[in-house]
Amino acid sequence: MTPILRGSALTRSYGPTLALRGVDVELSPGEILAVTGPSGCGKSTLLHCLSGILTPDSGAVHYRDADLTTRSEADRSKLRRTEFGVLFQYGQLVPELTAAENVALPLLLAGTGRRAAREAATSWLDRFGVADCADQRPGTMSGGQQQRCAVARALVTEPAVLFADEPTGSLDTVTGETVLTEIVRTARERGMAVLLVTHDARVAGYADRELVLLDGAADPSGLGIGIGS
């Protein structure tokens, strides 16, 4: 299958620190790829480069036929609103908006009508078992409820690619499993590709395959052979 997203020879540094040292990665429609490795190995930097939040220092990121690294920030931002879903460990909901308004927001920004956006939001909240929270503000919801709203918000635009950075890191085991199971179901049903950043092997178990990073590069052994001796 033709990859929907491809990163080639990606490098990125923060000041003197080399966070990515030539990483290649491919993601096919409907495929779930876990990116794992110890803290500071470059997992999140890779997610940021592939989703267009950061521009790599060198290398290319192709989404379908377009090279994101040559696109303007405005273009990349539009892509993130329409084609990509982005999800972080802490949902980052807008505190002034209700759960339903938070979930409807990406659709409204993309030009969907108010009523249709509200209906889609309610349906996604229902799918994640938080329909009862639709009219509540994040501050009155539990952490688990907030995160499930954040997942609904990331999926409401039916993105072609979901970027999830430790999406269940703030959840208890059973709630985390519910969220991951729904993400997998959505990926399979709609052909959504998922880049799942995690340090937890049990979360990586939901993926089809795994890319282990060590010091900013792929580590085929998964264990950092040659390091620590």
Partner 1 sequence: MSTPHVLLGLLAGGPRHGYELKRAHDERMPRAKPLAFGQVYATLGRLERDGLVEQAEKDQDGGPERVAYALTSRGRVALDEWLHTVETPAPYVVSALFNKVVVALLAADADRARSYLADQRAAHMARLRELTAAKTAPGASVGDVVAADFAIAHLDADLRWLQATLLRVADLYREVHA
Which stretches of the chain bind partner 1, using CB under 8 A?
Answer: 177, 180-181, 184, 201-202, 204-208, 210, 221-226, 228-229
Instruction: Say how far apart CA 7 and CA 27 lie, in whole Å.
Output: 9
Quick one: 3 or 224, whose CB is closer to partner 1? Answer: 224
**What is the nearest approach in angstroms of partner 1 to the Cβ of residue 205?**
4
Quick one: 119 or 210, whose CB is closer to partner 1? Answer: 210
**What is the nearest approach in angstroms of partner 1 to the Cβ of residue 10?**
24
Instruction: Say how far apart CA 225 and CA 229 lie, in whole Å.
Output: 9
**What is the nearest approach in angstroms of partner 1 to the Cβ of residue 59?**
27
**What is the nearest approach in angstroms of partner 1 to the Cβ of residue 70?**
36
Instruction: Say how far apart CA 6 and CA 4 lie, in whole Å.
Output: 7
Assess contact for 122 and 164: CB atoms under 8 A: no
Instruction: Say how far apart CA 223 and CA 228 lie, in whole Å.
Output: 11
Contacts of 66 by beta carbon, 8 Å cutoff, 6+ apart: none
Quick one: 130 or 180, whose CB is closer to partner 1? Answer: 180
**What is the nearest approach in angstroms of partner 1 to the Cβ of residue 84?**
24
Quick one: 113 or 205, whose CB is closer to partner 1? Answer: 205
Q: Is 40 exposed, middle or buried (0-12, 13-18, 19+ CB in 10 A)?
A: middle
Quick one: 121 or 196, whose CB is closer to partner 1? Answer: 196
